[in-house]
Structure 1
Amino acid sequence: MGKKFYAVKAGRKTGVFEDWDEVQNYISGYKNAVFKSFKTPQEAWDFMKNKPSMTPEKPIISKNFEMIENADCALAYTDGSFDPLTNTYSYGTVILWKDKVIKMSQRFDNQIIVALRNVAGELEGAKRAMKFAQSNKIKELIIHHDYVGVAKWSLGQWKANLPYTQEYVAFAQNIQKDVKLNFVWVKGHSGDHYNELADQLAGQATLKEYRKVN
């Protein structure tokens, strides 16, 4: 794969960069991020100056819509829900990969795990995103979440005391043999488009997995 130059026109920091990991710090979770990759630095700077480019790719312009043009990387947004009437928990997950938006959700009635309520749902959503990344040979997954345990347990920063959270830790560790996991905390109900969509999917989930690709 040839060297790429990343132009960030709107983000926490703007400019032309060569390190994709650095670029992610400037765009991930940033509302209305605008960025694009180029084969030459001149094209990248022309894009920054609004000059025409020979590169046919469209810029990534978002209403909190960070579409990753690099097929080796995907973004995921997860949320969990609990329904006291049915005593069930569920997840909603939105994955942004290449030019696709993948929406998934499912409800569970495991009465051993249900005591964790919506936390169980969000962990299941994170697991589903991780499994998707592994199955599609995606090298890096950036998970946006509003429950901090999604990241803390995965990264070994919290001790897992319950059998279910221990299983989650083992699952995440196994995934990390193939996929680099990064985490971004998003405040719940803060207007983040994809976090709100994940929340909506979790609330509407059924016992049969829902999956739609746009």
Structure 2
Amino acid sequence: MRVVAYTDGSSRGNPGPGGYGAVLLYTDPNGVTHTKELSQGYRRTTNNRMELMGVIAALEALRRPCQVELHSDSQYVVNAFNKHWVEGWQKRGWKTASKQPVKNPDLWRRLLQAKRAHEVTFVWVKGHAGHQYNERCDELATTSADGLAGPLLDDDGFEG
């Protein structure tokens, strides 16, 4: 099963209220494309945490192993996998190459767990460049950050 996912995160202030958005696309054997949108807002968080949460939410929504082409405008997320930063962080006990603690280790661990059952390819897309699904994810994320899509939750792992 092949799924194309788009994700985005937003925060109003960094830290500040934030949210994520995700759009998942699946074309069934009859050629019909199914779309699922996900979003959530948080009272106090950071942009990078919301970028990660968008990816996590997209992967956690999948109920069986999939080939996932995941598009994000976050170089933080895309490069962590495409440039193999995550493997280095794990080998160094969640420390960067300069021996500093990795930020957001709770979400990186959750993302790795969510990714485990799937074959995921990360694709960087330029943000705010008119791409239909990236723009929709941005709209979902900002609407959620503004509390217009439902109640804002606490980001339990946020420290700051």
Asked if these proteins are the same fold (TM beyond 0.5), I'd say yes
Q: In percent, how many aligned pairs have the same letter?
A: 26
- Whether the aligned pair in 1 keeps the contact of 2:71 and 2:122 (CA below 8 Å) is yes
Task: Select the residue among 124, 133, 157 that pairs with 1:194.
Answer: 133
Equivalent residue number for residue 25 of structure 1: none
Question: Is residue 179 of structure 1 aligned with residue 118 of structure 2?
Answer: yes
Structure 1 residues without counterparts, runs of 5 or longer? 1-71, 210-214
Equivalent residue number for residue 131 of structure 1: 60
Give the count of matched residue pairs.
131
Residues 176 and 103 of structure 1: is their aligned pair in 2 closer, same or farther, counting only changes over 3 Å?
A: closer
Q: CA deviation at 1:208?
A: 4.0
Task: Select the residue among 90, 107, 110 that pairs with 2:41.
Answer: 107
CA distance in 1, matches of 2:81, 2:105: 10
- Whether the aligned pair in 2 keeps the contact of 1:146 and 1:186 (CA below 8 Å) is yes
Task: Select the residue among 61, 67, 76 that pairs with 1:140.
Answer: 67
CA distance in 1, matches of 2:20, 2:40: 6
Question: Is residue 76 of structure 1 aligned with residue 10 of structure 2?
Answer: no
Taking only aligned residues, the RMSD between alpha carbons, in angstroms, comes to: 2.5
Question: Is residue 119 of structure 1 aligned with residue 48 of structure 2?
Answer: yes
- Whether the aligned pair in 2 keeps the contact of 1:122 and 1:147 (CA below 8 Å) is yes
Quick one: which amino acid aligns to residue 103 of structure 1? E
Of the two, which has the highest radius of gyration?
A: 1
- Partner SS, residue 190 of structure 1: coil
- Partner SS, residue 41 of structure 2: strand
- Partner SS, residue 117 of structure 2: coil
Equivalent residue number for residue 157 of structure 1: 85
TM-score for both structures, normalised by structure 2: 0.71
Q: CA deviation at 1:157?
A: 1.8
Quick one: which amino acid aligns to residue 4 of structure 2? L
Runs of 4+ in 1 over 4 A off after TM superposition: 160-164
- Whether the aligned pair in 2 keeps the contact of 1:154 and 1:168 (CA below 8 Å) is no
Equivalent residue number for residue 88 of structure 1: 17
Structure 2 residues without counterparts, runs of 5 or longer? 28-32, 96-100, 153-160
Equivalent residue number for residue 106 of structure 2: 167
TM-score for both structures, normalised by structure 1: 0.54
CA distance in 1, matches of 2:60, 2:11: 22
- Whether the aligned pair in 2 keeps the contact of 1:78 and 1:126 (CA below 8 Å) is yes
Quick one: which amino acid aligns to residue 22 of structure 2? T
